[in-house]
């Protein structure tokens, strides 16, 4: 199985992404939509939510209730991600030990976390006069 996204940019630094029946705009300048790094951070946080819920269920917390994640991406001098941090708040009453167990399990389950590993690099081909 594969996931497919078609990205089209007719000019400038903004791109439209066709994802199944959905369309999103990502603008590296952040003017016409979220910028590329904000989009990565949003995908990471969005993926981590269900991972937390499943991790909670597997660690004895059947319902975490409302989950809020503030995701911060610190940039280096080249404006590239240097670090990412999550500040997570959940509605459920979870002690520190159980919370740590849920967080660790969520990292194991989160597909975006897995995709950010350093050895994952796109294989690329390019064709001129093709559009």
pTM: 0.89
Q: Where are the domains of the chain?
A: 1-34, 35-115
Interval 53-81: pLDDT, tens: 999 999 999 999 999 999 999 999 999 99
Q: What is the CATH code for 35-115?
A: 3.30.300.20
**Tokens matching residue 21:** 């029946």
Nearest to 113 by CA among 46, 53, 61: 46
Question: From CA 53, how far away is CA 32, in angstroms rounded?
Answer: 33
**Tokens matching residue 118:** 């350093």
């Amino acid at each position: 199985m594969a996931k497919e996204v078609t990205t089209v940019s007719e000019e400038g630094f903004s791109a439209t992404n066709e994802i199944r029946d959905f369309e999103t705009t990502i603008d590296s300048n952040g003017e016409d939509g979220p910028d590329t790094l904000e989009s990565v951070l949003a995908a990471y946080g969005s993926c981590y939510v269900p991972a937390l819920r499943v991790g909670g269920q597997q660690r004895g917390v059947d319902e975490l209730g409302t989950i809020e994640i503030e995701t911060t991406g610190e940039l280096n001098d080249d404006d590239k991600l240097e670090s990412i941090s999550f500040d997570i708040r959940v509605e459920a009453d979870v002690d520190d030990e159980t919370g740590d167990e849920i967080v660790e399990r969520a990292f194991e389950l989160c597909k975006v976390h897995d995709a950010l590993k350093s050895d994952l690099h796109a294989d690329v081909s390019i064709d001129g006069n093709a559009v």
